[in-house]
Amino acid sequence: MDLDVFVTAHRAEWDRLDHLLHRGRRLTGTEADELVELYQRTATHLSLLQSSTPDPILTARLTQLVARARATVTGTRRASWRDATRFLTAGFPAAVYRSRRWWIPTAVLSTLLAAVIGWWIGAHPEVQSAIAAPEDLRRMTSPGGEYETYYSSHPAASFAAQVWTNNAQAAAMCLVLGAFLCIPVIWILFINVLNLGVGIGLMSSAGRLDTFLGLILPHGLLELTAVFVAAGTGLRLGWTVIDPGPMSRRSALAQQGRAAIGMAIGLALVLFVSGLIEGFVTPSGLPTWGRITIGIVAEAAFLAYVYILGGRAARAGDGGDVDPTERSAELPVAA
């Protein structure tokens, strides 16, 4: 494409579109139709420039022009309670459902790794000695020790808020940092698995694994599921950078990134529930079976939410992305 010839041929159209945009609402019906037509033409011109002869200055001008025209043509749109309801009943569970091939293997492998680490620590006294001195280990694992008093060390409300904040930050980091080729996500996930494995190993070596599980399962089932979903989504985002599939890398990353942002909001709500359980149920005087039952019910409710509502929305074409009318137009990509 000869850029000079292209600019000469279409500059008048761009200038006319700019003039109509400056007039705003004072357009006649004919001029409004003309604005829509010029907007469509200019969007096509921008696509041609981006794909064949990218010129930074001209591309920037047309990008701004197209954005202004689109805002004028489509109008502004405010978020409503309907959007929030749609997100909670379709968008978020559909995104979790669609990413299940990433977070389910992540959950299985992480759980197995935690079990292996726990067995290794529990079966090797020399490893336990490397973690802490014998008196420190007794202080952590004995009845009324640090593993037990941790959950009642602060008022329930402030403890639940602290736990929620920490877990939400970890989940958000997995989602955001996944774009860096998955490496930060793997590290964050490993730290969580290592902490779980150390707890299993030390408490099992003290003959109190049942107590540990009674403390960790009520909130841990839902909490770890949320972390695994975040990690799996982050890994999926990182893999998109490596292999975007039939889409351009920028388009594929934008699509997965928008879904990941929605996942961060949804998982924050899930972790809020697990934080409430950890703050109010785990340290409560309920019998162990009662606390674990509450954790199982919360976990089952979340999985049913994902597989029933999310599966239905995913089969209807919802992937957790924004509405198609709110996305930028994309150029077709050759197979």
- pLDDT of 301: 97
- pLDDT of 190: 93
Whether the predicted pLDDT of 145 surpasses 60: yes
For the segment 149-173, the average pLDDT, to the nearest whole number, is: 78
CB contact at 8 A, 202 and 134: no
Comparing CA positions, the residue from 276, 140, 277, 117 lying closest to residue 195 is: 117
CB contact at 8 A, 288 and 208: no
Q: What are phi and psi of 285, to 5 degrees?
A: -85, 10
pTM of the model: 0.71
324 or 134, which is more confident = 134
Residue pLDDT, tens place only, 225-246: 999 999 999 898 888 888 887 7
Average pLDDT score, the chain? 84
The dihedral formed by the CA atoms of 315, 320, 323 and 327, expressed in degrees to the nearest 10: -120
Rounded Cα distance, 229 and 100, in Å:
8
Whole-Å CA distances, 132 to 60, 128, 137, 144, 324: 60, 7, 6, 18, 55
- pLDDT of 325: 45
Contacts of 229 (CB under 8 A, 6+ apart): 96, 99, 103, 171, 263, 267
Rounded Cα distance, 72 and 23, in Å:
11
- pLDDT of 216: 92
